[in-house]
Amino acid sequence: MTDRERTAVRLLRSSAEHSYDPAVEIDWDAGLAPDKYFVPPHRCSLYGTAIWERLSPEQRITLTRHEAASIAGLGIWFETILMQLLIRSYYGQDPTAAHAQYGLTEVADECRHSVMFGKMIAALGTPVYRPDGVNEFLGRWIAATATGPRMFAAILICEEILDTLQREAMADERVQPLVRMVSRIHVVEEARHVRYAREELARQVRTAGRSRLTFDKLVIGRAAYLCGTRLIDPGVYTSIGLSPSAGRAAARANPHFQETLRWSGERVVAYLTDLDLIDGPGKPLWRRSGLLPAT
């Protein structure tokens, strides 16, 4: 049995033992606590700014509610792309192989996660925030064409950023119980997906040619740019009376939020650096994403 198959067998066993049904595990009718945040307050994009200091406690909570919805919306968008990629990859595989079977198992996980995030956004009572314009077009292109390193690296960036944010949120008692439970379920199941993607990405990099990797690095850099700049949709700022452009400018200039972006990307940046996937034509996009360590 190959290393690839052994990993898949372990992940299939873990999926059987540690999977959750959000429709059963979460009390969707419990309501929201009026005095709790939706993301840890120090992770809010405007935390520590003059704007934050002027906001009332209720406005601060409102802003975090919309930011939680923005993060969930981006998660759904990436998960939808991932499901298409995995199905395309499965099409040509041996259906008796554990690796192929785990790919389908992950699709099932992501289906439940996207439903869970959608139900959470509905419970928050916010708009659905998701990439549009050029980003929407690029998402459709990646979903229809991506293979190899760019397929796994692009998805890994979003998965690991969300995982880092949710690991902190699920343990923070200042955060809404609903958000904490959604985060806990996602963290447990996403750990398998990250393991699968990391190992498969390393295998794909080893077999890819130089010209292939040069192009893939550009696509990966664009995915990083999207995650860093659209994790918080500019539209969230209208919830507290700010224009999207003013709120985005304040967030981008905020050293606290800059540190949050770097912190959320630490693990995936380190891993992709080890695989030499950040240098090259995508490096300027990585710099603009805000995810790279401060220099």
Q: Domain holding 152: CATH number?
A: 1.10.620.20
Within-domain flag for 7:
yes
The pLDDT of 246-259, averaged and rounded, is 97
- Tally of domains in the chain: 1
pLDDT tens-digit readout, 195-240: 888 998 998 998 887 888 899 999 999 999 999 999 999 999 999 9
Residue 295 has pLDDT above 70, yes or no: no
| Residue 110 structural domain | 3-17+45-289
Kindly indicate the confidence band of residue 64, based on its pLDDT and cuts at 50, 70 and 90. very high
pLDDT tens-digit readout, 186-204: 999 888 889 888 998 998 9
Within-domain flag for 231:
yes
Task: Please enumerate in sequence order all residues whose Cβ is within 8 A of that of 49, keeping only pairs 6 or more positions apart, or say none.
Answer: 250, 254, 256
Closest CA to 190 of 120, 249, 106, 71: 106
The pLDDT of 47-57, averaged and rounded, is 97
Within-domain flag for 33:
no
**% the chain with pLDDT above 70:** 100
pTM of the model: 0.94
Task: Please enumerate in sequence order all residues whose Cβ is within 8 A of that of 117, keeping only pairs 6 or more positions apart, or say none.
Answer: 72, 73, 75, 76, 79, 182
Please answer whether residues 288 and 229 qualify as being in contact, where contact means their C-beta atoms are separated by less than 8 angstroms: yes
Q: Residue 280's pLDDT is what?
A: 87
Within-domain flag for 295:
no
Within-domain flag for 173:
yes
The pLDDT of 15-28, averaged and rounded, is 90
Within-domain flag for 203:
yes
Within-domain flag for 242:
yes
Within-domain flag for 30:
no
Q: Residue 155's pLDDT is what?
A: 83
Tokens of 15: 């999926």
Residue 294 has pLDDT above 80, yes or no: no
Kindly report the average pLDDT of the chain as a whole number.
Answer: 93
Q: How far apart are CA 44 and CA 37, in angstroms?
A: 10
The pLDDT of 265-292, averaged and rounded, is 94
